[in-house]
């Protein structure tokens, strides 16, 4: 038992420095400031185009985070290493945050441009379904006490949820929607393309920081859980 305790202590994760967070957010602020001040008003929607720099990268990070969930859920089912389960869970939580942000920013953008906050087209509906699945994923983790069972079940839900990502992406190609199809550098003013790329890179840094930090905390929580179990066994 003492050896076990020591291995727990040595594996106790350190705090990723707060300076890394400051650096990520500074890059994000700089990217936003640069792209806002260098974007000319758009022909149809004027300054509303600038919402693109937060809405679109948030959507990309949602996809990316859930892709991480997919990879580490599959890896967990294959190798059964607890770390994979915790990474998947961390990416799922961060992805859900970006997913919710994407939906909210889309509503803020839709009201003045489309004329409605929300409509049940395939893109909007499938994005909401994606959000609900990962809310369910996080709720499931809270419900199941047994770590092995929790990991297996959430890996299954995580894989099912991540399968939805390509559906969300392709929805505007497969079905008629109010939401437009993806823009590309050929349909964007070069200034907007640059702004979008800068903001995507900045938000990627923020997301990496989030997932990493959340993973460290998840390991801490597991260490506390294990220590509690051991204490309970020792008590008996």
Partner 1 sequence: MKRAWVLGGGAVILGVFAWLLFGGLEKNMVFFLTPRELLAKGTEGVGVPVRLGGQVKPGSVKWDAQALDLRFTVTDGGGEIPVRATGAPPQMFRDGMGVIVEGRVGTGGVFEASNLMVKHSNEYRAPKPGEEAHEKYKTLIQQSATP
Partner 2 sequence: MIASNETFVIAAYALTWLVLLGYVWRLVSKDGRARGDYARVSGRGEDLR
State the residues that interact with partner 2 by CB under 8 A.
1, 5, 8-9, 12, 15, 21, 25, 28, 32, 45-48, 50-51, 54-55, 58, 94, 97, 100-101, 104-105, 108-109, 111-112, 206, 210, 213-214, 216-217, 220-221, 223-224, 227-228, 230-231, 234-235
Of the candidate residues 28, 64, 157, 207, the single one contacting partner 1 (CB under 8 A)? 157
* CA max distance for the chain: 73
Q: Please state the closest distance from residue 150 (CB atom) to partner 2, in A.
A: 17
Nearer to partner 1, 125 or 226 (CB): 125
| Contact present, 69 and 91 (Cβ < 8 Å) | yes
Cα–Cα distance for residue pair 132/210, rounded to 1 Å: 21
User: If you ran DSSP here, which 8-state letter would residue 203 be given?
Assistant: H
Distance CA 209, CA 203 (A): 10
The Cα 85–Cα 91 span in angstroms is 10
Which is closer to partner 1, CB of 30 or CB of 41?
Answer: 41
Contact (CB, 8 A) for 86 and 225:
no
* Residue length of the chain: 236
Burial group, residue 142, by CB count within 10 angstroms (0-12, 13-18, 19+):
exposed
State in angstroms the smallest separation of the CB of 190 from partner 2. 21
Q: How far is the CB of 102 from partner 1 (least distance, A)?
A: 17
Query: Does 144 engage in binding with partner 1 (CB under 8 A)?
Result: yes
Q: How far is the CB of 207 from partner 2 (least distance, A)?
A: 10
Phi (first) and psi of residue 42, to 5 degrees: -80, 155
188 sits near partner 1 (criterion: CB under 8 A) = yes
Cβ atoms within 10 A of the Cβ of 34, count?
16
Window contacting partner 1 (CB under 8 A); options: 82-90, 91-99, 170-178, 199-207: 170-178
Shortest Cβ 20–partner 1 spacing (Å): 33
The gap between the terminal CA atoms of the chain, to the nearest Å, is 14
Interface with partner 1 (CB under 8 A): 40-45, 49, 52, 112-116, 119-122, 125-126, 129, 132-133, 136, 139-140, 143-145, 153, 157, 160, 175-178, 180-184, 187-189, 191-192
């Amino acid at each position: 038992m003492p050896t076990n305790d020591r291995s727990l202590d040595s594996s106790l994760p350190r705090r990723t420095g707060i300076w890394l967070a400051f650096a990520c957010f500074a890059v994000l602020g700089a990217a936003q400031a640069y792209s806002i001040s260098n974007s000319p008003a758009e022909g149809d929607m004027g300054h509303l185009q600038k919402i693109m720099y937060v809405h679109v990268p948030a959507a990309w990070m949602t996809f990316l985070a859930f892709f991480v969930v997919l990879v580490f859920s599959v890896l967990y089912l294959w190798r059964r290493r607890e770390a994979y389960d915790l990474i998947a869970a961390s990416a799922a939580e961060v992805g859900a945050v970006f997913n919710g942000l994407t939906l909210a920013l889309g509503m803020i953008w839709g009201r003045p441009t489309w004329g409605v906050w929300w409509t049940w087209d395939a893109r909007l509906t499938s994005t909401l379904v994606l959000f609900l699945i990962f809310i369910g994923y996080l709720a499931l983790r809270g419900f199941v006490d047994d770590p092995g069972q929790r990991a297996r079940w959430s890996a299954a839900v995580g894989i099912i949820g991540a399968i939805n990502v390509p559906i969300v992406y392709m929805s505007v190609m497969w079905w008629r929607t109010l939401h437009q199809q993806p823009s590309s550098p050929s349909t964007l003013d070069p200034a907007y393309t640059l702004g979008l790329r800068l903001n995507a890179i900045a938000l990627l840094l923020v997301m990496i920081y989030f997932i990493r930090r959340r993973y460290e905390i998840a390991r801490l929580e597991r260490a506390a859980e294990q220590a509690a179990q051991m204490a309970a066994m020792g008590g008996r």
